[in-house]
Amino acid sequence: MEPTDELNSTLFHTYIYLVKADKPVGPRDLMRGANLSSPSVAYRNLQRLIDLGLVAKDDYGNYIVKRKVSPSGYVWIEKILVPRFVIFGFIFVAVLVAEVAVLVPHLLLGSAVEESFWLLTVVTVVAAAIFLLEGLRFRKKKRI
């Protein structure tokens, strides 16, 4: 069982804040930064993250991320948590840009374009739109 499977919404936001902070953080700083209701909630979340092996306490009583993990369906890009659907969407957008780069000279020179190329372009547009919309929907549906 992955540690991220045990993260509820508040605990997950606590973990995300710590990853983005990228420095040792105390309970009060965490409370303010992660919009938690009290320092005791921050402390309780920190203790649970320590128990899961995701966070460690330093010699000064501050907490830092010990292990960076990605929840199911997400990937970290630097300090940004991105749904995998969005990455696939951008791959299809890159393919679409390449297709348009090939298509534009044909249209400018008035040469014929095969129907299969138009079909391929339409499929690429649809795939990019589906992945990007699903990525946005997935991000809103999840606890981020």
Rounded Cα distance between 17 and 25, Å, is 10
pTM of the model: 0.68
Based on its alpha-carbon atoms, the radius of gyration of the chain, rounded to whole angstroms, reads 22
Positive or negative: CA dihedral 58, 56, 51, 81: positive
pLDDT in tens, 5-45: 666 777 888 888 999 998 999 888 898 888 888 888 888 99
* 17 within 8 A of 32, measured Cβ to Cβ: no
Amino acid letter, residue 69: V
pLDDT in tens, 82-121: 899 999 999 999 999 999 998 888 888 888 878 888 889 9
